[in-house]
Amino acid sequence: MKPREIRPGIYSVGAIDWDRRLFDSLIPLPDGTSYNAYLIQGSQQTALIDTVDPTKQQILIDNLNDLGLEKIDYVVANHAEQDHAGTLPQVLSRYPQAKAVTTPKGKEMLMDLLAIPAERFVTVNDKATIPLGGRTLEFIHAPWVHWPETMLTYLREDRILFPCDLFGSHLATSDLYVSDDGQVYESAKRYYAEIMMPFRVSIEKHLERLKDYAIDVIAPSHGPMHNHPEFILKAYRSWVLDEPGNIVVLPYISMHGSTRKMVDHFVSALTQRGITVKQFDLAVTDIGKLAMALVDAATVVIGTPTVLAGPHPNVAYATFLANALRPKLKFASIIGSYSWGGKAVEQLAAMIPNLKVEVLPPVISKGLPREADFQALDGLAETILQKHQGLHLA
């Protein structure tokens, strides 16, 4: 994609990655992604906000060449992760007088990760500014969105916020701005769930600080720009601050059908009580969908057979992930079956220390579930109903 003018003297110069399907060798990208970079020209100086993933470096370099720039004075590195900073060495080499602008922690990390020499940096404190001539960059330290060095850049006169990963979405689109609210909401929520949710407490503080800024456009470094910023700010406030909903997330695996029978019965028992259930067969599910479901849920119930005396490995993986993502869950339980014994319940319960949940009594059947097991599942559904009512959930 060639450079595209956002405002006179401000250009989108990044790259769209239509075909990428996995990020960090972990996160599914069903809709691709983009690595957005922005060029800002003042009357005296020029700044580049972020670079692009190294796989797309030639697109960025070509775009800067197309603009016929004689010089770049500053390359702002809001974040040291390679999908935004990975082309910084090439840009600094192409523009030898340019300085990389970052937080002190960002400098340390970029020297470690990309071997950029110390003399190429200008570090900035929180609320520091750099004038470009008629345009002013202000830097807002925002640690832990989602690494310790992260910052946001605010272009004062144009009222544009460049928050890098924050408010972003893994979505490849040729549209510069959000054109399909539903699609972007889904992608942004997936992004929040997979990347930002563990840092809810930090994000809450950053959202509060941003109230002091007049923002016309949010220009993240993944996905389309927001020219109606309240759309994404409101979504983030909801994901970060709202109480969880009257929702049970039910990730499970079944090997020979016993756990599946329990899941089927349990889902009916919950829905008959007016509880929304989001059920995921971990043999086939997209873990991003599971992460998204965890954003709003009050309860997770994990369904597992017993394999080699413990939970099924896919269940252990999903449980490890849920623990790492630190959703707002209030309650957890386990259902499943075993043939001759095992420690699946104990092992899973030990895997969720980050979740500040009340663990409700599990329901485990020996072999095929029988009437007593189904009654126990009804009892667990009733307990969850009462617990949710106690929270006054919607």
Which residues contact ligand FEO by CB under 6 A? Answer: 79, 81, 83-84, 146, 165, 222
Nearer to ligand FEO, 200 or 312 (CB): 200
Q: What token pair was written down for 74?
A: 């500053």
- Residue bearing tokens 């840092």: 199
CB of 247 to ligand FEO, least distance (A): 28
Contacts with 28 (C-beta within 8 Å, 6 or more apart), sequence order? 21, 22, 286, 287, 288
Nearest residue (CB) to ligand FEO, 73 versus 81: 81
Nearer to ligand FEO, 170 or 312 (CB): 170
Q: How far is the CB of 33 from ligand FEO (least distance, A)?
A: 8
Q: Distance between CA atoms of 281 and 266, rounded to whole angstroms? A: 14
HEC secondary structure over the chain: CCCEEEECCEEECCEEECCCCEECCCEECCCCEEECCEEEECCCCEEEECCCCHHHHHHHHHHHHHCCCCCCCEEECCCCCHHHHCCHHHHHHHCCCCEEEECHHHHHHHHHHHCCCHHHEEECCCCCEEECCCCEEEEEECCCCCCCCCEEEEECCCCEEECCCCCCCCCCCCCCECCCHHHHHHHHHHHHHHHHHHHHHHHHHHHHHHCCCCCCEECCCCCCEECCCHHHHHHHHHHHHCCCEEEEEEEECCCCCHHHHHHHHHHHHHHHCCCEEEEEECCCCCHHHHHHHHHHEEEEEEEEEEECCEECHHHHHHHHHHHHHCCCCCEEEEEEEECCCCCHHHHHHCCCCCCCCEECCCEEEECCCCHHHHHHHHHHHHHHHHHHHHHCCC
To ligand FEO, the closest distance from the beta carbon of 28 in angstroms equals: 15
Q: State the minimum distance, in angstroms, from the CB of residue 220 to ligand FEO.
A: 9
State which residue, 151 or 262, has the beta carbon closest to ligand FEO. Answer: 151
Gap between the Cα atoms of 394 and 31, Å rounded: 31
Nearer to ligand FEO, 50 or 73 (CB): 50
To ligand FEO, the closest distance from the beta carbon of 42 in angstroms equals 26
Residue 198 Cβ vs ligand FEO, minimum distance, rounded to whole Å: 13
Q: Minimum CB separation from ligand FEO for residue 146, in Å?
A: 6
Closest-by-Cβ residue to ligand FEO is 81
d(CA 358, CA 94): 56
In whole angstroms, the minimum distance from the beta carbon of 83 to ligand FEO comes to 4
Nearer Cβ to ligand FEO, position 79 or 330?
A: 79
